[in-house]
Amino acid sequence: MPGQLLFSSSSKQGSSCFVTNRSVMVDKCVGKSVPRKEGWEKVTGAALYVDDIVKPDMLHGATIRSTISRGKIDRITFEGDIPWDEFVIVTADDIPGENSTKMFVGEQPVLAKERVNHPEEPIVLIAHADPYLVRKARTQVKISYIEETPCLSIEDSLNKAPVVWGEDNLFKTIRINKGDVDAAQSEAEIIVEGEYFTGASEQLYIENNGMIGEYDAEEGVTVTGSMQCPYYVHPALCAVFNLPKNKVRVIQSDTGGGFGGKEDYPTIIAAHACLLAMKAGKPVKLIYDREEDMVATTKRHPSRTIIRSGHKKDGTLVFMDVDFALDGGAYMTLSPVVLSRGSIHAAGPYRCPNVKILGRAVATNYPPHGAYRGFGNPQSFFALERHMEKAAKQCGLTADEFRRRNFFREGDLTATQQVVQDRVDMRELLDQALEAADYHNKRERFKKENEGNPVKKGMGIAAFFHGSGFTGGGEQKMASIAGVEGTKDGKVRVLAASTEIGQGAKTIFSQIVADALKLPYDMIEVARPDTDDVPNSGPTVASRTCMVVGKLIQTASLALKQSLVQEGGLDEDYTPEQFAQACKDYVARNGKLRRYSQYEQPANIVWSDETYVGDAYGAYGWAIYVAEVSFDTRTYEARVNDFVALQEVGKVIHPIMAEGQVQGGVAQGIGYALYENIVWKNGRMMNGQMTNYIMPTAADLPVIRVLFAEQPYASGPQGAKGVGELPIDGPAPAIINAIEDATGVSVNQIPATPEILMKEMEAAGVC
């Protein structure tokens, strides 16, 4: 089976983890496909997602939102045949503390007060015991506005037409400079120019957002719900309710997917649910339906990238000049960090002595765009890998040979002048991926078969990399803490705020701890993320959970063992039974046994936020993706027939889950490339339904073939790096490159829906 080609261990050997014979067990859990920790609850329907939870006396809430993109709120009236006196109603005036979500500059209100800056901005909250009545009442709150001219494109925003944020609409500007692009102009023999566009896209987790808020005058506020980052919600609630840390409690319920979409917006929903609960004196459940989730919450930033590159006659890069712009929407939220990642990766895995990158995140009057898997990189790599295709053609080289000549070699400097430490040879990865995809044979065959055939086939490549963990000094600033606990039942319990959102955090943590303590997998438990119980291990984003937090719990595990050996009389050469007994005895004697570990930056990582020079990431994942696509010149539909995803992500902790992560990411990438189009009208998403926002079904996708090349990373737990985000960076350019290979037509915009392809093909005279 091709998916197994490069595995050092077969994914079928999961059972040795359960064997309590130590000689078999030592260091054997990592690298095995053990059953998912919470798997049984999920396959029996017993897992409790937020909408499955009820609290006594609970009310149901709803959010009334702005219907315009920009303007002043004039009047709010409560109309219709609704018993309004039975309702709990909350406006901005009910907020006891700051009316802000606390993200960066904190200018995004929890509830709009005097003015609105985007459609669907929350203004009024209502709650009642009868959910049917709430649904009806929601349509009877009428708000009138004094409208102002909105700004609805990157171009208009850059041209200050009009200014809608600060003085110049610029949330953030990043400049990366390496060498001297201006001076290098004269050295270039071939100049290649291009402009590339990507649309917004929806994370479309199948579980909609939702929260249950509770309030108690003594205890403060408690919120339970669907989220990626309990410790983003926590400080925000402290500020909104003006409460000390110990009066705010945030609990993650089982979460049905996130993909970045449950990174920052859940903070607002949590605040809303708790505001209603405080005013009602009762628990309030606030669950979004699909349309509300789609039209009101964050999406991937649309982008526009202009690239100018200079080459020698043999194709080698002399300079790259990249102008990368993201549409941030109405409030800054996470745009600066999305921009940062996208800018840092904008020159790709290519050696180039002179690089200039200008990154700008601009304000418009769309709902704020936010985190979505890949975090700026899918936009960057779409532009870059389309541009490389163009450059290859202009230099008279094939797509693979052109890239081979330009890839990083060991010791080269990235755009931020980081020395490439990973011992990864992209040329080797390229050869392996092309072979697995049967690239050369197929291309030749398709050339012949395409003649006179209404269905044209082509092959496309994308080469890319993705930094694991936070950018630059982010991890150091975050200073995450995670721990483990020896329990009174003789088990080991992982303590981290990192959330299980489907990616397998619970399983991977358990594997790492099992190996660190030489215990069987089923002796390890994972605490539910609850800010009253677990420390702040940072947000569950940026493919950092395994690499960064995994390392912390590995270190904490060793500290736990140390305590049991030194203070609990445990023999260094213990059996699992002895370990369990030592835990039980220790807890009976001394109370809680918890050991923590805090992040320390590896000494060799140096970064400057001012100059954007240095080690942007501790480690990178590297990848070559190859798509085989057919394009039907009669229906203008493109279809992916085969997909090879080859990546180097360090040690693979759980082969089947890692494959699943890659397949899921590629599937989303295929949707991003071909299907998932958002129709905007005056800044509002008009197709907020699964019927007309089209994500790939089981029948739309090829079998996504996943290959891993493993190069253990010294600072990751047992050599692991991040895997979650990388797979969405490559599919779109690989697919559009394949369409170009099939038809000769260069499409520089995604999603490449049949409508777009029709336009491009007709313009090029192909169809």
Partner 1 sequence: MSVKKHYSFLVNGENHTVESYPANRLLDVLREDLRLTGCKEGCGEGECGSCSVFLDDVMVNSCLVPIAQVQGRQVRTVEALSSDPLGKILQEKFLEHNGAQCGICTPGMLVAAITLLRRNSQPTLGEIQDGLAGNLCRCTGYKKIFDAVADAAQVAREQGVLEGGKA
Nearer to ligand FES, 258 or 469 (CB): 258
Which residues inside 200-239 make contact with partner 1, applying CB under 8 A? 203-208
Task: Identify what 6 binds: ligand FES, partner 1, none; CB under 5 to 8 Å per kind.
Answer: none
Least Å from the CB of residue 704 to ligand FES:
15
Task: Identify what 184 binds: ligand FES, partner 1, none; CB under 5 to 8 Å per kind.
Answer: none
Q: Please tell me the distance from the alpha carbon of residue 124 to that of residue 94, in angstroms, as a whole number.
A: 10
Nearer to ligand FES, 49 or 84 (CB): 49
Q: Please tell me the distance from the alpha carbon of residue 222 to that of residue 149, in angstroms, as a whole number.
A: 40
Residues 6+ apart with CB under 8 A from 438: none
Nearer to partner 1, 582 or 670 (CB): 670
Least Å from the CB of residue 251 to ligand FES:
21
Task: Identify what 504 binds: partner 1, ligand FES, none; CB under 5 to 8 Å per kind.
Answer: partner 1
Which residues inside 176-205 make contact with partner 1, applying CB under 8 A? 203-205
Of 254, 263, 485, 740, which one interacts with partner 1 (CB under 8 A)? 254
Q: How far is CA 324 from CA 333, 423, 588, in A?
A: 19, 29, 59
- Candidate ranges 313-321, 529-537, 687-695, 746-754; the one touching partner 1 (CB under 8 A): 687-695
5 binds partner 1 (CB under 8 A): no
Least Å from the CB of residue 332 to partner 1:
27
> 426-437 vs 439-450: helix axis angle to the nearest 10?
50
Of 196, 259, 509, 574, which one interacts with partner 1 (CB under 8 A)? 259
46 binds partner 1 (CB under 8 A): yes
Q: Two tokens at 437?
A: 């995809």
Q: Two tokens at 140?
A: 């009877």
129 binds partner 1 (CB under 8 A): no
Q: Say if residues 326 and 342 touch (Cβ distance below 8 Å).
A: yes
40 binds partner 1 (CB under 8 A): yes
Beta carbons within 10 angstroms of residue 506's beta carbon:
22
Residue in the structure block whose two tokens are 């006196």: 85
Task: Identify what 191 binds: ligand FES, partner 1, none; CB under 5 to 8 Å per kind.
Answer: none
Query: What's the sign of the alpha-carbon dihedral 499, 502, 507, 509?
Result: negative
Of 179, 194, 257, 467, which one interacts with ligand FES (CB under 6 A)? 257
Q: How far is CA 554 from CA 38, 107, 305, 634, in A?
A: 21, 38, 41, 57
Nearer to ligand FES, 146 or 206 (CB): 206
258 binds ligand FES (CB under 6 A): no
Of 93, 114, 132, 610, which one interacts with partner 1 (CB under 8 A)? 132
Task: Identify what 659 binds: ligand FES, partner 1, none; CB under 5 to 8 Å per kind.
Answer: partner 1
Least Å from the CB of residue 386 to partner 1:
23
- Candidate ranges 41-49, 86-94, 347-355, 437-445; the one touching partner 1 (CB under 8 A): 41-49
Q: Please tell me the distance from the alpha carbon of residue 606 to that of residue 522, in angstroms, as a whole number.
A: 40
Least Å from the CB of residue 210 to ligand FES:
14
Which residues inside 468-527 make contact with ligand FES, applying CB under 6 A? 502
Beta carbons within 10 angstroms of residue 170's beta carbon:
17
Q: Please tell me the distance from the alpha carbon of residue 178 to that of residue 572, in angstroms, as a whole number.
A: 52
697 binds partner 1 (CB under 8 A): yes
Task: Identify what 47 binds: ligand FES, partner 1, none; CB under 5 to 8 Å per kind.
Answer: partner 1
Q: Residues 426-464, buried b or exposed e (16+ Cβ, 10 A)?
A: bbebbbbbbebbebeebbeebeeebeeeeebbbbbbbbb
Please confirm whether the linkage preceding 162 is cis (ω < 30° from 0): yes
**Binding map of partner 1 across residues 484-503, x = CB under 8 A, - = no contact:** -----------------xxx
Q: How far is C-alpha 163 from the geometric centre of its chain's CA atoms?
A: 30
Q: Please tell me the distance from the alpha carbon of residue 315 to that of residue 331, in angstroms, as a whole number.
A: 42
Least Å from the CB of residue 684 to ligand FES:
23
206 binds ligand FES (CB under 6 A): yes
SS3 assignment, position 244: coil
121 binds partner 1 (CB under 8 A): no
691 binds partner 1 (CB under 8 A): yes
Residues 6+ apart with CB under 8 A from 573: none
Q: Where are the extended beta strands (E) located within 649-755?
A: 680-681, 684-685, 704-708, 749-750
**Binding map of partner 1 across residues 633-662, x = CB under 8 A, - = no contact:** -----------------------xx-xx-x
Q: How far is C-alpha 99 from the geometric centre of its chain's CA atoms?
A: 27
SS (H, E, C) 286-355: EECCHHHHHHHCCCECCEEEEEEEEECCCCCEEEEEEEEEEEEECCCCCHHHHHHHHHHCCCCCECCCEE
Nearer to ligand FES, 275 or 501 (CB): 501
Which residues inside 586-625 make contact with partner 1, applying CB under 8 A? none
Residues lying near partner 1 in the complex (CB under 8 A): 33, 35-36, 38-49, 51-52, 54, 132, 203-208, 254-259, 289-290, 501-504, 656-657, 659-660, 662-668, 689-691, 695, 697-701, 703-704
Residues lying near ligand FES in the complex (CB under 6 A): 206, 257, 502
